[in-house]
Amino acid sequence: MKPVILITGGSRGIGAATARLAAQRGYAVCLSDHRNEAAAAAVVADIEAAGGEALALPADVASESDMLHLFEEACRRLGRLTGLVNNAGVLEHHMRLDAMSLGRLQRVFATNVIGAFLCAREPVKRMSTRHDGAGGAIVNVSSMAAKLGSPNEYVDYAASKGAIDAMTISLAKEVAAEGIRVNAVRPGVIYTDIHASGGEPGRVDRVKGSVPMQRGGLPEEVARAILWLLSDEASYCTGTFIDVSGGR
């Protein structure tokens, strides 16, 4: 039996790169998308063409009923869950905090914080030895913004990722004796569509001069760190972080 992982936001960017690499490394992959079913289907088709096993399911991470259904369906179709990549995340257009509407704050925190909590809860219920599970691993996708902030751009997003860092540390300790490792990656500026969501598709090229390595990162470079944290190579790591940021 292949190990089974679920990747939220697997239709594009870092999640899609992680899904492809995970399948290459022998995982059966369930990837979820939000609205972009065509992109999710294309990732599944790539994985299957390469001989891997994958399944795409639409689900809004901020919806509890969607999350319950997503995990139930993934386990029913692929088997016992061994890992989660808690990746789905959003940001909105650049602005100062004093211009942010309540609606924007609710959307960003609903997806990035509440969504990540709902996504972490379901695998704990399945993988923890406390619930008769056989253990597993969770990798949360945070951001360097949690450490560096995002002034004048998205203070809300940076704060939501700060919550992910705190959740990673707390949950890791909570379930460490129950066979579950919980770690996180903090990507720096990575070439994905997320920057277009912030209103600046070319943001990575604008800021790359501030990166010590003088370049933006690729989704595949983040995926490799995620896969390492999920693997037995990281068997004594929990509550820890890998900054995938070119030294930023």
Catalytic residue numbers read: 157
Selected from 4, 6, 11, 167, the binder of ligand NAP by CB under 6 A is 11
Residue 141 binds ligand NAP, judged by CB under 6 A: yes
Shortest distance, CB of residue 25 to ligand NAP, whole angstroms? 19
Cβ atoms of 220 and 154 within 8 Å: the answer is no
Q: Site for ligand NAP (CB under 6 A): how many residues?
A: 31
Residue 88 binds ligand NAP, judged by CB under 6 A: yes
Residue 39 binds ligand NAP, judged by CB under 6 A: yes
**Window of 69-77, 84-92, 170-178, 223-231 that interacts with ligand NAP by CB under 6 A:** 84-92
Tokens matching residue 64: 């509890």
Tokens matching residue 203: 């943001």
Cβ atoms of 104 and 156 within 8 Å: the answer is yes
Question: Going by DSSP bridges, is the β-strand pair 81-86/53-58 parallel, antiparallel, or unpaired?
Answer: unpaired
Q: DSSP character for 113?
A: I
Q: Is 80 left (phi over 0), alpha (psi -120 to 50) or beta?
A: beta
E strand map for the chain: 4-7, 28-33, 53-58, 81-86, 136-141, 180-187, 241-244
Selected from 18, 43, 60, 167, the binder of ligand NAP by CB under 6 A is 60
Residue 111 binds ligand NAP, judged by CB under 6 A: yes
Residue 8 binds ligand NAP, judged by CB under 6 A: yes
Residue 246 binds ligand NAP, judged by CB under 6 A: no
Task: Identify residues 203-242 at the interface with ligand NAP (CB under 6 A).
Answer: none
How many Cβ atoms sit within 10 Å of the Cβ of residue 130?
Answer: 13
Q: Which residues bind ligand NAP (CB under 6 A)?
A: 8-9, 11-15, 32-36, 39, 60-62, 87-90, 111, 115, 141, 143, 187, 189-190, 192-194, 197
